Chains A and B, each alone.
Chain A
Amino acid sequence: MASTPAVPIEEQLKQLNAARKLALENSAYYDRIVKGVLPVIGPTSSIELKRWGAEFLAESLATPVLSMRDKESLTLSVLDTLKSLLESEQDDAIVLKASIAAAASAYPVVLRWIIHNSYHTEAWEQTSAIKSRILRIWDGAPAPVRLSCIKFAQRVVLAQTTSNGQEVKYGGLDISLGMVPANHPLLDPRLMEAEATGLLDRMLGVLQDNSNDALLVDATLNCLSILIRTRPSTSNRIINCVLNFNPLKLANSPMTPKNKVLMKSMEKTTRMLMINILKRHVSSRDPNNQHSGRVQQYVERLMRSRAEIFDEAGRKRQLADQAAAQYGDLKRQKMQDASAAAPEPAAPAQPAVIPPLAPGPQTLAAVFTLTNNPGLQAFDATSIPANLVAKIVARTLNTLDQSVLDFAVNGIRSRLHTLQAAAVTAAAQYAAHGAAGLPGAINPATAPLGVEEDDDDYEPNLDAAEDTEQILNKLDNAPPETALDEYADPNAALGLGPFTLAPPPLIDADVASKLSSAAASRLFGPLSSLSSEGPSKKPKAGINRLAASSYDRDSWLTVATRLATRSTFGLEEEEQEEEQTSAVKSEEGAVSHPLASTFNQSIREMLFTYILEDWRPRIEVAVAWLSEEWYNDQLTKRTGLRNAPLHYETWALRLLDGFMTFITAQDKVLTRFLAEIPELSGELLGRLKTLCGDPNTLGLAMTSLLYLVMMRPPARELALDTVGGIWVEYEEARPLAAKYLSKWRPGWVEQQMHLQAAKAVAGGGGNGAAGIAA
Chain B
Amino acid sequence: MDTANGNATTASAAPAAPAQPNGHREDPGGFKLKFCTVCASNQNRSMEGHLRLALANYPVISFGTGSLVRLPGPTITQPNVYKFNETSYDSIYRELEAKDPRLYRANGLLNMLGRNRNIKWGPERWQDWQVGMPRVKKETDKGFEGMEGGVADIVITCEERCWDAVIDDLLNRGSPLNRAVHVINIDIKDNHEEASVGGKAMVDLADSLNQVAKEEREKVGAAAFDSGSGAARASFDERVPEVIGEWQERWPNLPATWTLAWF
Contacts and interface: CB of A to CB of B under 8 A. Distances in A.
B176 A173 contact: yes
Given A91-B224, A168-B174, A225-B172, A257 B179 contact: no
Contacts of A623: none
Interface in B152-189: 161, 164-165, 167-168, 170-180
Interface stretch (A197-205, A216-224, A342-350, A460-468): A216-224
Nearest to A611: B76
A272 B236 contact: no
Given A171-B176, A253-B3, A261-B256, A25 B134 contact: yes
Nearest to A609: B76
Contact of A64 (B130, B161, B180): B130
Given A105-B177, A257-B245, A662-B70, A142 B76 contact: no
Where chain A touches its partner, the secondary structure class is: helix
Contact of A256 (B7, B131, B171): B7
B85 interface: no
Contact of A612 (B68, B77, B233): B77
B259 A24 contact: no
For this complex, into which size category does the number of interface residues on chain A fall?
Answer: 35 or more
Contacts of A225: 171-172, 174
Interface string A98-111: 00010011000000
Contact of B178 (A105, A268, A609, A612): A105
Contact of B172 (A264, A276, A664): A276
B27 interface: no
A219 B262 contact: yes
A257 B238 contact: no
B18 interface: no
Given A59-B149, A92-B221, A223-B262, A101 B245 contact: no
B101 interface: no
B257 interface: yes
A433 interface: no
Interface string A10-47: 00000000001100110000000000000000000001
Interface string A462-485: 000000000000000000000000
Nearest to B242: A258
Interface in B64-80: 66-68, 70, 76-79
B170 to A, nearest CB: 7
Instruction: Name, among A226, A613, A696, the residue most crowded by chain B CB atoms within 10 Å (CB to CB).
Output: A226
B216 interface: yes
A142 B176 contact: no
Contact of A24 (B6, B148, B220, B262): B148
A265 B178 contact: no
Contact of A143 (B148, B221, B235): B235
Interface in B57-111: 66-68, 70, 76-79
B178 A261 contact: no
Given A93-B235, A147-B180, A256-B6, A268 B175 contact: no
B260 A215 contact: yes
A257 B240 CA distance: 12
A350 B3 CA distance: 69
Nearest to A56: B149
Contacts of B173: 168
Contact of B133 (A65, A214, A269): A65
A693 interface: no
A661 interface: yes
Contacts of A172: 176
A276 B136 contact: no
A64 B148 contact: no
A152 B175 CA distance: 11
Contact of A664 (B67, B221, B235, B244): B67
Contacts of B262: 151, 219, 222-223
Nearest to A610: B76
Contact of B164 (A144, A151, A272): A272
A510 interface: no
B179 A62 contact: yes
A258 B4 CA distance: 11
Nearest to A230: B174
Interface in B247-263: 248-249, 256-262
Nearest to B185: A268
B132 A63 contact: yes
Contacts of B258: 261, 264-265
A24 B150 CA distance: 10
A94 B217 contact: yes
A21 B136 CA distance: 8
Given A170-B176, A261-B248, A657 B241 contact: no
Nearest to A661: B77
A468 B165 CA distance: 85
A276 B178 CA distance: 20
B3 A259 contact: yes
Contact of A104 (B132, B178, B256): B178
Contacts of B221: 47, 91-92
Contact of A142 (B174, B179, B217, B235): B235
A491 interface: no
A167 interface: yes
A142 B242 CA distance: 17
Given A91-B224, A612-B76, A661-B79, A151 B178 contact: yes
A272 B76 contact: no
Contacts of A747: none
Interface in A619-670: 657-658, 661-662, 664-666
A276 B176 contact: no
Contacts of A261: 241-242, 244-245, 248, 256, 258
Contacts of B67: 664-665, 696
Nearest to B132: A64
B234 interface: yes
21 contacts: A24-B134, A64-B176, A64-B177, A65-B134, A142-B235, A144-B235, A147-B260, A151-B262, A167-B174, A168-B174, A171-B174, A218-B261, A222-B171, A222-B262, A225-B172, A253-B3, A257-B248, A276-B168, A276-B171, A612-B77, A662-B70
Interface of B: 1, 3, 6-7, 66-68, 70, 76-79, 130-134, 136, 148-149, 151, 161, 164-165, 167-168, 170-180, 216-217, 220-222, 224-225, 233-238, 240-242, 244-246, 248-249, 256-262
Given A101-B178, A151-B180, 4 more contacts: A144-B180, A168-B173, A268-B257, A279-B168
A-B CB proximity, top 4 nearest:
A171-B176, A257-B245, A226-B174, A24-B134
Interface of A: 20-21, 24-25, 47, 58-59, 62-65, 91-94, 101, 104-105, 142-144, 147-148, 151-152, 154-155, 167-168, 170-173, 213-215, 218-219, 222-223, 225-226, 229-230, 253-254, 256-262, 264-265, 268-269, 272-273, 275-276, 279, 609, 612-613, 657-658, 661-662, 664-666, 696
